[in-house]
Structure 1
Amino acid sequence: MSVLVDALKDCGALQFGDFTLASGAKSKYYIDIKKASTNPKVLKLIAESMAEQLHTTDIKVDRIAGIVLGSIPLATALSLETGIPYVMVRKEKKDHGTGKMIEGVLNPGEKVLVVEDVITSAGSSVTSIGILRDAGAVVEDIFSVIDREAGGAEALKEIGVRFLPLVRASELLE
């Protein structure tokens, strides 16, 4: 994955300073995946890497799920790369329109691959997987671009989900 590590660094996704993460944790570095997912070359590389990972792990899914907002470009790109349809999972219900938590077509019993940008504690991932499962989806696997190696893998294992990151924070920080 050194090509992806280099691409993430080259697009400015890795930043140093004093940051507060979505989990509330403090960090001396931040991984701004939106810099990567808004760069067509890096986004394509991420999608190709995830598609390859799907192939090499022999995971078969009916749908891909992206969590609003950060992982939607990733889910879209992976869907375009593989031809697998995707759904979008909201973090909270809208108070207008249909009020759905899942946008797109999801049929009960379908196997869904969740894609994430960065996983730290996996709190939002666990919540989103719960929403998908409540809607009848079978969720056994999650891909992310980055694993910050801060407890997310353990949290996902606790709910019976295999976590397959493309890059670990330790690799990015080398």
Structure 2
Amino acid sequence: MSELSDALKECGALQFGEFTLASGAKSDYYINIKKASTDPKVLGLIARLMADKVRENGIEADRIAGVVLGAVPLEAALALETGLPFVMVRKEKKDHGTGKQIEGDLNAGETILMVEDVVTTAGSCVKGIQVLREAGADVKWVLSVIDREAGGAEALEAEGVRFIPLVKGSELLGER
């Protein structure tokens, strides 16, 4: 995936220093996928690579899903590439408006491909999977841009979900 690694580096998504990750872990590098997903060229590349993975892995989903905020541009771009509709999963139910935790149409029994930006421990992804399952969805796959290789793959496997990253953190760092 050197094309993706190069694009992430060129747009400034790969950063070095002292960072605290969403999981609470400390890291000497950070992958700011929002920098990549707000760049049309890089977002287009990610969407094409994700669509390739969908085809290569024989994924036949009814719908794409992702947790707000990081996954939203990724799932929208992938929806445009594949023609699959998507839903957005909020981390918490809204306390105003419709009070929904899932935005978009979701029908019980639908097969879901979940999209993530960066998977570290997969904590927010697992919560999103649980919300979707409570709504009657069958989440079978998680497709992410980056696997930081910090237990996320194992956590998703424990949920009975197949994890497919575009690139692993060690590959990204190894190509510096």
TM-score tier after normalising by the smaller chain length: over 0.9
Computed over aligned residues only, the root mean square deviation of the Cα atoms, in angstroms, reads 0.5
Please tell me whether the aligned partners of residues 66 and 128 of structure 2 are also in contact (alpha carbons under 8 angstroms): no
Q: Distance in 2 between matches of 1:32 and 1:93?
A: 26
Alpha-carbon displacement from aligned partner over 1:67-125 (angstroms, at most 9, x marks no partner): 10011000000001111000000001111001111000000000010000000000000
Alpha-carbon displacement from aligned partner over 1:120-155 (angstroms, at most 9, x marks no partner): 000000000000000010001000000000000000
Q: Which residue of 2 aligns with 1:69?
A: 69
Q: Which residue of 2 aligns with 1:51?
A: 51
Q: Distance in 2 between matches of 1:167 and 1:11?
A: 16
Q: Which runs of 5+ in 2 are unaligned?
A: none
Normalising by structure 1, report the TM-score.
0.99
Q: Which residue of 2 aligns with 1:34?
A: 34
> Identity of aligned pairs, percent?
70
Q: Secondary structure at the match of 2:145?
A: strand
Normalising by structure 2, report the TM-score.
0.98
| Misfit runs of 4+, over 2 Å | none
Alpha-carbon displacement from aligned partner over 1:41-88 (angstroms, at most 9, x marks no partner): 000000000000000101100000021001100000000111100000
Q: Distance in 2 between matches of 1:66 and 1:36?
A: 17
Q: Which runs of 5+ in 1 are unaligned?
A: none
Equivalent residues, number = 174
The alpha carbon displacement at 1:17 in A equals: 0.4
Q: Distance in 1 between matches of 2:66 and 2:132?
A: 11
Q: Which residue of 2 aligns with 1:92?
A: 92
